A and B are shown apart, each in its own frame.
Chain A
Amino acid sequence: MKALAVDAVWKYYGDYPALRDISFDADAGQCVALLGRNGAGKTTLLRILAGLSHPTKGRVQLFGKDHNDRAARSLTGIIGHGIAIYDELSAYENLKLYAALYALPDPHRSALEWLERTALDRVKDSPVREFSRGMRQRLAVARAFLHNPRLLLLDEPFTSLDDRAIALLQGLVRDALAAGGTVVMSTHQLREAMDLASHVVLLNRGRMAHRGERTPEMLADTGWLYRTYGEAS
């Protein structure tokens, strides 16, 4: 059973197809880098995988279940453009809330554990409003990994992270992959992405221009993929 199976997915906005016939899958332990220029459809695709949007045609299956199934959602962790943290609540309250939403057996303990792992335990009772940007980013990472998701959907996660947060996220992603998790990550930061990625999917104007393993050429020259499979300009 594949962790993620995307089957002939189309997404229309009105009569305009933002995604055209996207098909790929991912197994346990694989990290898929979703690449493409702005407007290629990366965020649209990730939102569908995250259950925030329905495909107009086609099917998405997570762990063999329909992507809207609640059980599948509880195995998925997301990092989007926003940090998805409530400013007026404390760090501890935020994590405890998400732990409860994901039906963790001991929300209190899970929250404390992850506050420690992200070096936020000393400020756990301060409202997030007072946090620095780096602290907020680390808290967002804690929120995403809190329930030990087996599928991680990350939308440009390294954008605007400081080096401490980047290191934290890379470590957590590596641990998740080693434990048999799956990661789909859209990114412009090709270096960090290529380091972690085992496979790549290149989107071009909503179409899948290339799908395959991440090769040494891609790692060495981050523009190679665009030149080979992308647009001429």
Chain B
Amino acid sequence: MKFLRQMLTIAAKDLRSELRTKEALNASLSFALVILLLFSFAFDPTSDMTREISGGLLWLVFAFAGVLLLNRSFARELPNDCLDALIASPLPGAALLLGKVLANYVLLLGIECVCLPVFGIFYNVRWTLQPAWLALVLLLGTWGMTVVGTVFSALTVNMRLRELMLPMLVYPVLIPCLMASMRLTTLILAGQPITGDELAWFKMLIGFDVIFTALAVALIDTVLVG
């Protein structure tokens, strides 16, 4: 599967670059931890309140930290005109995009896995109650964030003020994905089962992921080549 191999080559390159310099990773992780801390001053983290907003809080942290990471995604190709060399190569735009999405996905999941125990400690929340459901929400929600964030990273790559533009453009588009993830996570962390009506959130999340992955793949060549 040539396409898969090309995708993995790009993903491996991005991961290797990032893990070697750790610039975006460190910034993102530190930012996530700082936000977790800041939120504790915004309200009194008694157990009742926390249970109600746990999902929202977590995904806000993931979203803020995630966008910091996603900004780097295509921006890392700018020094030395590497992006031009990638576009001029036989690599299909879709493989470039999905390779980067994969790398960002892995990095963001890593950050989330670090944030969860910290969150559990700071806010006294037992997050291990329903691990399978939680993992599912993390996997689906993070994919939505990553796909949308990476394609916008490509869109904004040549703009000045890229660091400001990307969050401003991405967050409204991510609202349905974040909302579903927040709602599901709150329920899961509260130990409640996901049934009936609530399952609709999962369906929406999957629909969002599928549609935006398809759109991103369809539009990436238009975004990259003028």
Contact = CB atoms under 8 A, between A and B. Distances in A.
Interface stretch (B26-34, B57-65, B87-95): B87-95
8 contacts: A50-B88, A53-B226, A70-B92, A71-B90, A78-B88, A84-B81, A88-B21, A127-B20
Given A89-B17, A98-B89, A84 B84 contact: yes
Interface in A97-120: 97-98, 100-103
A: contact size bracket: 20 to 34
A86 B80 contact: yes
Interface of A: 50-54, 68, 70-71, 73-74, 76, 78, 80-89, 93, 97-98, 100-103, 127, 143
Given A53-B226, A103-B2, A87 B92 contact: no
A192 B225 CA distance: 32
B16 interface: yes
Q: Per DSSP, are chain B's interface residues mostly helix, strand or loop, or mixed? A: helix
4 closest A-B pairs by beta carbon, nearest first, are: A82-B81, A84-B85, A74-B90, A82-B80
Nearest to B79: A87
A97 B225 contact: no
Interface residues of B, number: 24
B86 interface: yes
A130 to B, nearest CB: 13
Interface of B: 2, 5-6, 9, 13, 16-17, 20-21, 79-82, 84-92, 225-226
B93 to A, nearest CB: 10
Contacts of A53: 225-226
Given A84-B85, A101-B86, A103-B90, 6 more contacts: A52-B84, A73-B90, A74-B89, A84-B80, A85-B82, A89-B13
Contact of A101 (B6, B21, B225): B6
A146 B91 CA distance: 16
Contacts of A82: 79-82, 84
A100 B5 CA distance: 9
A68 B82 CA distance: 19
